[in-house]
Amino acid sequence: MSKSESKSGGSKAKQKDKEKDLKRHFKLSHQLVSLTGINFQRQSIIGYSELTIIPLKDNLRYIYLNAKQIRVYKILLNNTYEVQFQYFDPFLEVYQTDENNDKKSLDNFSPAHLKAAQATDSDRGLGELLLLFPEETWPLFQEGRPLKVGIEFSLEEPKAGLHFVIPEGEGSLAERGAHMFTSGYANSSRLWFPCVDTFSEPCPWRFEFTVDESMIAVASGELLEVVYTPDMRRKTFYYSITVPTAAPHIGLAVGPFEVFVDPTMHEVTHFCLPGLMPILKTSVKYMHESFEFYEETLSARYPYSCYKQVFVEQAVEDVRPYATMGLMSTYLLHGPPIIDQVYLTRKAMAQAIAEQFFGCFITMERWSDLWLCHGIATYLTGLYTKKCFGDNEYLDYIHLEMQDIVKYEQEMGGIVLDPSQAPAPLPTTQDTENSLSGHHHHHHHKHGKSHGGPQANSPVFQFPIGSVHTLSPKYFEIMRKKSHLIIRMLEQRIGHELLLQVFNKQLVLATTASQQKMYNISSVNAWSHMTISTTVFAKAVFTVSGKDMESFIDSWVRTQGHAHFSLQFVFNRKRNTVELEIRQEKVGNSGIRRYMGPLVVALQELDGTFKHTLQIEGNVARADLTCHSKSRRNKKKKIPLCTGEEVDMDLSAMDPESPVLWVRIDPEMTLIRANKVQQPDYMWQYQLRHERDVTAQSEAIVALEMYATPACRLALTDTIENEQTYIRVRLRAAHCLTKIANAMVSSWAGPPAMLAIFRKLFGSFSCPHVVRQNDFTNLQLYFLQKTIPVAMAGLRNAHGICPPEVIRFLLDLFRFNDNSKNRFSDNYYRAALVEALGATITPTVSMLTSKSGGITSESLTGETKLVVEEITRCLNLEKLLPCYKMQVTVACLGAIRKLQKFGHIPSSPAIFRSYSSYGQCQDVRLAGLRALIDYQRVDGTAEDLEFLLDIAENDQEPRIRHEVVRMLIDTPPFELASGSSVDAPALASRLWNNINQNLHFDSKLRCDFVDLYYALYGMRRPLCYTENFALSKLATKREAEGDLAPDGDIKRARLSPVLMEENQIVECVTVEIEAKDQPQIPPPKIDSNYFSDNSQSLPGMSGNSQGPTGFLPGMFKEEGSGDKHGKEDSKSSKSKKKKKDKKKHKHKHKHHKHRSKDASREGKHSRPDSPATPSNNKEETLSSGSSSPSQASQDVTF
Amino acid sequence: MAEHRTVLGVCLGALLTEAGFDAVDNIAYETMLEVLTSFMISTGNTARNYCELAGRVQPVVGDLVMTYADLGIDLRGIERYARRQQRLVLPALGVGSAPRPITILQAGSKLPHPSHIPEHLPAFPDPHAYIRTPTHKQPVTEYEALREKAAAQKRDIERALTKFVAKTGDTQSLFTTDDVNIFPLVACKPHPQPFLDALMPKDQVFDEEDEDLELQPPPKRVKRGLDLSQNTDKDSDADDSTPPSSPPECPDSQSEVGKEILQAEKISSEDPIDNPYLQAVKKPHKYI
């Protein structure tokens, strides 16, 4: 941080000479936290904390601690000297705008945001609380001599970090089930006690919590004793944790919990709210198995002496692991008749336990090592789910995770797991660099330099990735998934056993370390093995396996993005070879990087599966693979599969010349990649029918969506009926069959798709049209029974409406639903039926007439009326006989919203508002809010949006606040610069104030709001601040009609790629430090540029309008330095520029060709729910433009 | 009695009309009706007395003559009165409605007379009276109809219940314009502890014995495992040695687990579990 920066940051007080040594100058050897007054009425706590620190230098004159939203009364050193302190929290105003609306852009905000986070980062030796030791104490500071810092503090009505749940009603607090618990996000212990709030500073702890006589305090550590206070009305819980633990892993829950000691493992105690004991017992029945599994797998003991699970209401996340305890959502509990929840609950509990090993016990050294803890813990959880739910479930899970990563990275940008260090400049990365700059799309980011390492390849996001307090929660979530897959990839490279040995080694080292004591300077590093970092881990891998994984880590952990392969092939009959071509066309697109290295291609031939390992070296790789088998005609012979099984196949569909049945890339998922294999439909059908790998089956189903043929229909039907097939594949096949049937509507013969299957499986013996009494003991059939009606509801006849036959079928399912003989609850099944009814709804034909006259119940057509009646009935019944988690209500709300949206009933938010209000069950609230947000997008006014934002800002449940914002991001109330009436300066200011000031206490929510700001306004100043915004709205409209934009704008659009190119090179070539330290002057151009935002929205221009779409957050930031260095670098940039120009030409050429396809492409590739309106088009180019620099090339390569 | 009154009322009306009245006050009409009724009753009674005195069962004209004489009614001129010209002819009484079939429980069909019994003798009574009494109807055994009926019944109950609640409590409506009663939605009320209802559902009562079932899996479940292939191990263990399709809350190793739990419980009953949360709270002796 430079001096100039500090001015804008406003942290003058603590600047001084801090820059030179950004680290803590003391070690923490012990901490005591004592909360003496936990007051539920006033939602306050009074406490005392004592930190034992060991100075690392003699002249320690001040230290920083972390403390937020707490009031510090007094600080004493060694119980004698009073210490002066200062408090400063940069998040109180992240970026000082002086109410200048022009500056309220994320471009400005992002760097300031990171700076604020770093200004309180304990790993940089900083914090909110500055303790200035008085002169008389200076002699006490001798290197290595422990000192005690005692802090008296209080906390009132905390807004985050600690959450109080106090239900209204009669009776004492305990009778009402009032409780409180820690709810901070990431390292947020500072929100409830002063501490060194980082993962890298573990120490032993002691706790004392004095609570009401009727309450129990559950906290991290071992409960030593419980003692009454002298007045006998309260009691004090004494906890101690001897294993060094980092402050963020300290958790606490206080409430009138019911206690259940695990009958199998007495060290494990479960806690739930009063009244839930029966279902608690059911839910935790098999939890001990995961303990046993982990201990066995890691051949290491569970590191702590006890474990507690506390189920609380209004939990922020389903699972929040703390040292020795897991804080879980009460909504994870389930009784014996519930099916679907079991999978989630077991996994959640297993996750919490895995994180005890990696996460709590072994923690990360820095934020950039987070991936290791997350990755290993999730990997272990994955192994447990594999054991618990089977191989197919596991493979499918991995496959889905991969898809999530690919989707996110392509939308938002590539994730770098460890941004602290750039990948070594191997030829690989060098090449990547070149190719990236060659494509000129890749923009280098300067935010993420949290640890001073060069930041060569971090992608552009609307948020800085340098600190967890600035990260998008979504990014955080996907990063966990990616970490998991990377660990799994490592397993594939070094082997399962060896990887477990690496884990074991870490655990053994950490266990040894944890038994050490820290007394003085000689032992300050005693606990260094408690933390893990990328480097340490890589070394451990090398020690154990003898394999140097440095390049693997460089290319997957320190480099962003995933690989993207398109495979094409032809069979050469003469030479009996398959001529393959694998392209990496999209390299440089958002989230996609070039992959170099081995790639496995599996050919399924008539004589078996043959794997070929190809070496990928460039963007295009070609190979001729010799087939091992000859084509044969009419010869009956069993065909061996990859599993070794031999099966009969009907080979009549295949090319008689070729022995190739299907081709797969990277079948073992050894890379994080997206695949696009081009093979004829019959090959996909063979793959679906006969390939044993569930991921291959799933991929085949996705591919078959494009082929609406009777053969495909048959393949899918057979798959649905095939009991040998993994159930989720069968479910996917059902949904795919819906699409196929709809595409084949003109030639479809016979009853609606899947009707016959359903009747065969679930119809009564004597009368197939009456569904059997429910019996869910066969879970596969259960899932089919739930899914087929939903899939069938998606069917449409030639008029585009759901066939009446299907609606009648669904209504009959309702009518004949009989669960009286079932051992399991049918709540999810009934919810699925309601969902199916909702899915039958299509837009009314009489939209116009009904709009003019108001929609009444008379305007309902026959079938719709029945649907409405059924939904009403279900919803009403649920009030009297609520089902588990009110799933039926949730489905009903969705269906009602759909009826509203399609004009069958009047669109109104009133109902949803009542369901989304406080006091409803969490799932119901979310369903209500989802409907409201959908309403907002279609008919919402500014007041409606205010209602939602009120919830997002002030709701009592933190999770609801978070989810509302996430849903608003997914379904924004208006598109970027679409000229919506809701898009007003007041709204922008409100959001800005939230991210800039109001949400200083809640990093997660603040980052959510940053994402929302980005979704609504992009990186730059919100357009609504423009004085002639109305005018530009008009312009938008005109453009939509096809008028030409003013010439100047087009010119600017053309120019900007060059501009950007220069910038990029500047950035690559100039010394990094300089770039970093430059004051972030907002580009003067930005203000005048707002108009081009609109002009580029021309629908036809999207192809070559790479200029504006390429505007990136950091693009103009270096304008100042760019000018300075422009000359020096002009030479180097010129050559590139030329290349660039050539490329652009090419783009244009191709664009013509593919323009004609535009319509169809849009239909397929744009988000399915968004109509291809010009405004929408713009949104896509703009928003993805700023995160994915190469929208244009994406278009071209298509 | 009501029919007699009606008939008499009609006669009275006819007489009054003949006498030249157009209308009659209700009270007068009622009075006259009472007089007429009482006259007819005493006529009948006396006539029966005379006929019974004579050893007959049905009165004859002579009995009536005696009756009227007895009552002091002069019968002269009655012949002329009966043949008068302008007398009103009353419409025939609604015969169809009067003879309601006697509702006797008809069970089974009556047997015809055997040949040796003449036809004029009374018919046999219902067979149930002397052969056997069928106590129930043959139930409908057709599956479809039963399901229909069960579904209809359930639906009726639910409908009545929800209607009742909707009528007695707050409602919401899907429609803004017309009657609130078309599709009334029971309004949702906030609950101080919404999770209680959501997690402890009341929509269905499950047998408690389920718990026991889980501890000792019925052999049925093992059998069910046979028809599942290993490729469908969504909910089962990867381990093939166990039946692959146990419901999720009772995984394959349940029998062992069950035993373990039983053991654990045994242990727990023998010696107390050493868990700090089960310890008694200490008295504050050290702090006094």
pLDDT in tens, A909-962: 989 999 999 999 999 999 999 999 999 998 888 899 999 999 999 999 999 999
Lowest mean pLDDT among A869-878, A883-892, A1085-1094, B35-44: A1085-1094
- Mutation to test the B interface, candidates A237, A257, A261, A873, most B Cβ within 10 Å: A261
Give the dihedral of Cα atoms A1155, A1160, A1161, A1165; nearest 10 deg. Answer: 160
Q: Where are the alpha helices (DSSP H) in A302-369?
A: 340-357
With CA atoms as reference, report the closest residue to A387 among A483, A290, A496: A290
- Residue A1031: is its pLDDT beyond 90? no
- Percent of the residues in chain A that have a pLDDT greater than 70, as a whole number: 79
User: Any residues with CB less than 8 A from the CB of A730 and at least 6 apart, and which?
Assistant: A719, A720, A722, A780, A784
Whether the CB-CB separation of B192 and A176 falls below 8 Å is answered with yes
Give the gap in angstroms from C-alpha A596 to the nearest C-alpha of chain B.
Answer: 35
Query: Which DSSP string do the residues of A814-832 spell out, in sequence order?
Result: HHH---TT-SS--HHHHHH
pLDDT in tens, A989-1025: 999 999 998 898 899 999 999 999 999 988 888 888 8
Residue A989 and residue A816: Cα distance in Å, rounded? 55
- Residue A813: is its pLDDT beyond 70? yes
pLDDT in tens, B233-259: 444 443 444 443 444 444 444 444 444
- CB-based contact B257 A286, cutoff 8 Å: yes
- Residue A656: is its pLDDT beyond 50? yes
- Percent of the residues in chain A that have a pLDDT greater than 90, as a whole number: 53
Which of residues 185 through 244 in chain B touch A, CB cutoff 8 A?
A: 185-204, 206, 210-211, 213-214, 221, 224, 227-229, 231-239
With CA atoms as reference, report the closest residue to A851 among B180, B177, B172: B177
Question: What does the block give as tokens for A984?
Answer: 């007003």
Arithmetic mean of pLDDT, A381-399: 95
Lowest mean pLDDT among A24-28, A870-874, A1071-1075, B102-106: A1071-1075
pLDDT in tens, B131-176: 777 667 777 778 888 899 999 999 999 888 888 888 888 888 888 7
Task: Considering only residues B163 and A363, tell me which one the structure prediction assigns the higher pLDDT.
Answer: A363
pLDDT value at residue B181: 65
For A875, nearest residue in chain B (alpha carbons): B185
pTM more than 0.90: no
Give the gap in angstroms from C-alpha B138 to the nearest C-alpha of chain A.
Answer: 20
**Please, what is the angle between helix A922-939 and helix A942-954, to 10°?**
150
Minimum-distance CB partner of B158 among A306, A765, A873: A873
pLDDT in tens, B263-286: 444 444 455 678 899 888 888 765
A1027: confidence class by pLDDT, cuts 50, 70, 90: low
Arithmetic mean of pLDDT, A790-806: 92
Lowest mean pLDDT among A222-236, A245-259, A921-935, A1047-1061: A1047-1061
Q: CB contact, 8 Å: B120 with chain A?
A: no
- Residue B216: is its pLDDT beyond 50? no
Lowest mean pLDDT among A129-133, A180-184, A525-529, B130-134: B130-134
- Residue B97: is its pLDDT beyond 90? no
pLDDT value at residue B89: 79
- Residue B227: is its pLDDT beyond 50? no
Give the gap in angstroms from C-alpha B281 to the nearest C-alpha of chain A.
Answer: 5
Minimum-distance CB partner of B281 among A226, A877, A886: A226
Whether the CB-CB separation of A1132 and A1180 falls below 8 Å is answered with no
Residue A759 and residue B55: Cα distance in Å, rounded? 82
pLDDT value at residue A139: 85
Q: CB contact, 8 Å: B245 with chain A?
A: yes
- CB-based contact B176 A391, cutoff 8 Å: no
Map tokens 């009753």 to a residue: B41
pLDDT value at residue A599: 93
- Residue A25: is its pLDDT beyond 90? no
Lowest mean pLDDT among A9-23, A129-143, A715-729, A996-1010: A9-23
- Mutation to test the B interface, candidates A759, A857, A935, most B Cβ within 10 Å: A857
Lowest mean pLDDT among A707-721, A933-947, B28-42, B99-113: B99-113
- CB-based contact A168 B192, cutoff 8 Å: yes
- CB-based contact B172 A815, cutoff 8 Å: no
Give 3-state DSSP helix, strand, coil % of chain B, rounded to 5.
50, 0, 50
A104: confidence class by pLDDT, cuts 50, 70, 90: confident
Highest mean pLDDT among A940-954, A1019-1033, B198-212 belongs to A940-954
pLDDT value at residue A975: 85
With CA atoms as reference, report the closest residue to A520 among A978, A142, A980: A142
Task: Considering only residues B50 and A1110, tell me which one the structure prediction assigns the higher pLDDT.
Answer: B50
- CB-based contact B201 A335, cutoff 8 Å: yes
Highest mean pLDDT among A127-141, A329-343, A415-429, A645-659 belongs to A329-343
Arithmetic mean of pLDDT, B25-31: 92
- Residue A1155: is its pLDDT beyond 80? no
- CB-based contact A389 B166, cutoff 8 Å: no
Strand residues in A353-464 grouped as ranges (E): 363-364
For B177, nearest residue in chain A (alpha carbons): A856
Question: What does the block give as tokens for B160?
Answer: 């009545």
Burial (CB < 10 A; 0-12, 13-18, 19+), residue A1108, is: buried
Beta bridge partners of A621: A582
ipTM passes above 0.85: no
Task: Considering only residues A861 and A768, tell me which one the structure prediction assigns the higher pLDDT.
Answer: A768
- Residue A483: is its pLDDT beyond 70? yes
B71: confidence class by pLDDT, cuts 50, 70, 90: confident
What is the Cα Rg of chain B in Å? Answer: 43
Mean pLDDT of chain A: 81
Neighbours of A773 (CB within 10 A): 15
Q: CB contact, 8 Å: A279 with chain B?
A: yes
Whether the CB-CB separation of A684 and A663 falls below 8 Å is answered with no
Can you tell me whether residue A646 is helix, strand or coil? strand
pLDDT in tens, A484-540: 999 999 999 999 999 999 999 999 999 999 888 877 777 777 888 889 999 999 999
- Mutation to test the A interface, candidates B158, B180, B240, B249, most A Cβ within 10 Å: B249
- Mutation to test the B interface, candidates A880, A904, A918, A959, most B Cβ within 10 Å: A880
- Chain centre to alpha carbon of residue A189: 23
Minimum-distance CB partner of B144 among A169, A273, A766: A766
Give the gap in angstroms from C-alpha A911 to the nearest C-alpha of chain B.
Answer: 7
- Residue A30: is its pLDDT beyond 70? yes
- Spell out which residues of chain B touch residue A220, defining contact as CB-CB under 8 Å: none
Residue A1139 and residue A1146: Cα distance in Å, rounded? 11
